[in-house]
Amino acid sequence: MMNGKKIFIAGIALMGFSAWAFPSAPKGTEWESEQELGLNKLPPRAWFGHFPDTESAKKILMQESPWHRFLDSETDWRFKWTKCPKNRPTDFYKVDYDVSDWDVVKVPCSWQTIGIRKSLERFGMPLFLNQCYIWAGSLKVPAPEGLWPKVTGAEVPKDWYLGPEDNPVGSYRRDFEVSEEWLKGDVFLKFDGVDSFYYLWVNGRYVGFAKDSRTPSEFEVTDLVAAGENTVALEVYRYSDGSYLEDQDMFRLSGIFRSTWLVRRPQTFIRDFFVKTRPAKAREFDGDWVLEVEVEEKEVERRGGGGGEGLTISLFTIEDKEVELTPLSASSPRLYSVAKPKLWSPETPNCYKLVIGNGREYVSGVVGFRTSEIVNGRYELNGRKVKLHGANRHETDPLYGHYVPRERHEQDIRMLKEANCNIVRNSHYPQDDYWYYLCNVYGIALMDEANMECHGYWEGGDDPQFTAAMVWRNV
């Protein structure tokens, strides 16, 4: 199956939410079970920050909120690499397990690039591949009986870099603090990118697991954390059944490669929202526009959250001047008229700030007024024919592997604008949230792609065993 391509607009389809029950332990087979897509992960949602008031919400970026804390660090994460799962430290997640002699590693960062700096191939070999798989369970096509879609168990060529039972595992652990004030709300852990599979524990309690390395995974851990010091542990597998769907032509690297977050939210919160804009009259681009806002609000009933104060929708210019919204419909989706807004384009990336509040929480995002369509076989932006000059972009850093620091994202934007590019293809997966923010405010259109490519086994792209996983990654 070829790359799953999408045109990026904004937001993610709305899905339900429920409180989770925590099992006592993982089964240990989830990383080779293609029907098991995750456990206790919250449904995907749009990227936005959570703030205590309108004024702070206008800052947009999550790190500007007192309700978000980076768990990224160069000194706080301990790490143990093992080549074969059977040799991994099985009890490392327990709070009293001593990890003081483990390596101190940077998170986020691909673990192979950390190992190379310490000694060649200390944490495994970075590999660049295009259309093939390289783990034991995939070396014969079709796979031997019982080995599809496994990643271990098959014979391998002599001197192959992994043995038949090998699948490198990275065990991560760190401590973090939670205040009494934070426990008045609900607490979440959010991992923006982990390659390719991981189990999660908090304070020695098993939380769940996640696949799809390039979709953020979020877990509610309110009942597992306490005021004071807490411990989080991840057991990350280099390959999993999900790797069959992540055969992009790139360096194959592993580990926690995007930011990690501790998030606080009130017990009545805005789970997701979706925004669309269109001219009030078809193809009258210089007139009034309609702003359509669909909001999913959720009360966590099991904790007695209590209702908010009703939703408020506010729009501001990028300079924080409030823009008048004339209500057209109070039901969902909410519709508003905006008088002659400045339009978004790569040449004039006029952006607005949308703030949604319920009296307890305020969320925000960047909004642009524009249309994007094919008319008579030609691409038009806001009714104007546009020639697209673009580039493909992988998330790769020469020092950190698949972790791309924010200054590197910003450098890429500058280079693209200097080269007169107006569009980027996110090849071949959803990229870091900060990248979308930069492209909005600096004027780069995007062709987004789902995290799904299985060149290495063409017949596998039609295998019904993977239907659920493929739908999950695309819808």
E strands, 238-288, in order:
250-252, 255-256, 260-265, 268-279
Residue identified by tokens 């691909």 is 110
Most confident of the ranges 13-27, 141-155, 435-449: 435-449
| Lowest-confidence segment of 7-16, 90-99, 338-347 by average pLDDT | 7-16
What number of residues does the chain have?
475
Pick the more confident residue, 163 or 304.
Answer: 163
Identify the CA nearest to 214 among candidates 151, 170, 258, 273.
258
Higher local confidence (pLDDT), 464 or 292: 292
Closest Cα partner for 314 from 370, 371, 360, 358? Answer: 358
Q: Are strands 423-426 and 445-449 parallel, antiparallel or unpaired?
A: parallel
Radius of gyration over alpha carbons of the chain, in Å? 23
Q: CA angle at residue 474 from 455 to 389, to 5 degrees?
A: 75
- Per-residue b/e over 414-444, b at no fewer than 16 CB within 10 Å? eebeeeebbbbebbbbbbbbbbbbbbbbebb
Do residues 135 and 125 lie in contact, with contact meaning Cβ atoms separated by under 8 Å? no
H-type alpha helices, 30-159: 54-57, 111-118
Closest CA relative to residue 198, chosen from 168, 166, 223, 225 = 168
The kind and range of the H/E element at 412 are helix 406-418
Query: What pLDDT does 2 receive?
Result: 34
pLDDT band with cut points at 50, 70 and 90 for residue 140? low
CB atoms within 10 A of CB 413: 19
Mean pLDDT, to the nearest integer, of 381-408?
Answer: 96
Mean pLDDT of the chain: 89
- What's the confidence (pLDDT) of residue 395? 96
pTM of the model as a whole = 0.91
Sheet holding 312-317, edge to edge: 49-51, 362-367, 352-357, 312-317, 322-323
Asked if pLDDT for residue 9 goes beyond 50, the answer is no
| pLDDT, average across residues 194-209 | 97
Mean pLDDT of 77-106: 97
Per-residue pLDDT at 117: 76
Whether the Cβ atoms of residue 209 and residue 38 lie closer than 8 Å to each other? yes
Q: Can you read off the two tokens belonging to residue 373? A: 């369509």
Least confident of 165-174, 264-273, 330-339, 364-373: 330-339
Note the pLDDT of residue 163. 84
SS3 content of the chain, % helix, strand, coil (to 5): 15, 35, 50
pLDDT for 17 equals 37
pLDDT band at 141 (very low <50, low <70, confident <90, very high): low
Lowest mean pLDDT among 3-17, 24-38, 73-87, 444-458: 3-17
Q: In this predicted model, which residue has the larger pLDDT, 17 or 322?
A: 322
Give the dihedral sign, CA 312/316/318/321. negative
Percent of the chain with pLDDT over 90: 74
